[in-house]
Amino acid sequence: MEVLLGFPFPLQQSEIRQGVARHAERGVSKGSSSSLRLATASLQLAAAPDTPTRWHLRRSSKRPDGPCNNFYYDLYTVDDNALLDAELLARLKHRDQFQGALHELFVQATCLRAGFHIIRENQGDRLRRHVEFVAVHKTTGQHILVEAKSRHRAGVMGRTGEQDEKPDIRFRRLINDAIAKDPDNPLAIFVDTNLPPKKAELFYEPESRIPLRPSKPMATLMEAIRKEHGGIDPYNLLVFSNHPQHYSEGDEIAPGNRWAGIISQKARVPVYHLNALQDLFTAVNLYGNVPTHFPEQRQ
């Protein structure tokens, strides 16, 4: 398949510091005096300066406060760009809507830290279906429609019913629903798989790392979607993510996150600037690298 895959890979701490600083600065609204201070704060990472680590949160997310810090940083990023409105806050406070709102918050914050403007669509317009928002790359002007989809499961994240001992890994319906909303523009789909850690490993762990090949379930899913759409990918970027901290019990250490991203080389609607997708890709990979403090005027 003509795709690029993103899985955790080792980087030197200096490379992480540079990446976090860039994306922290992008995540602050243009003209904000906090931009430089936030970028500087991002350099203060917990690991030693020369300690090899990973961009991915899988290691750092096992801290007890890791998931909360990520949530707070997403709130800060969206709020600093004047996008944390009453509707989103209300959904975050609603038991039945929290899961979807949390994932949308993660997606919005990721796009902002990747250097995008966000233009929300009028969800009250019933004349046509709407994506979550349109993201416009500040550097190139490339526009991308963005859809956030979250897999609900009984007994998990406020849902009623008994938790399934063998949760499925079927995500085709969610992806096809996102695809059907607008076939005429570039599309990025973010899917929250909501899997317990052991099941997530089956879906996310690549079949091979050299050469890099996705797991069989993931490859089968992507191939099925491509066949349904005449041999092309009906998306430009497809990101799967799994933040399973809610599956831990009692005082257990929170399980780590997983993610995989696919940049299609054979998309239904090509982009003019591939680096816009690559910036999104990198921002997902940097998720979990949170500044140690906020600027003084924002504390």
Give the model's pLDDT for residue 41: 28
**Domain residue ranges of the chain, discontinuous segments joined by +:** 3-298
Give the model's pLDDT for residue 299: 53
Q: Which of 11-25, 225-239, 283-297 bottoms out in mean pLDDT, i.e. has the lowest?
A: 11-25
Return d(Cα 182, Cα 205) in angstroms, integer: 31
Check: CB of residue 112 under 8 Å from CB of residue 81: yes
Q: Which of 19-23, 157-161, 183-187 bottoms out in mean pLDDT, i.e. has the lowest?
A: 19-23
Check: CB of residue 56 under 8 Å from CB of residue 257: yes
Give the other-Cβ count within 10 Å of 62's Cβ.
Answer: 15
- For the chain, what's the residue count? 299
At 29-47, the pLDDT tens digits run 543 433 322 222 222 222 2
* Predicted TM-score (pTM) above 0.85: no
Check: CB of residue 111 under 8 Å from CB of residue 190: no
Q: How confident is the model at residue 18 (pLDDT cuts 50, 70, 90)?
A: low
Q: Is 73 in a helix, a strand, or coil?
A: helix
At 138-180, the pLDDT tens digits run 999 999 999 999 999 988 888 888 888 889 999 999 999 999 9
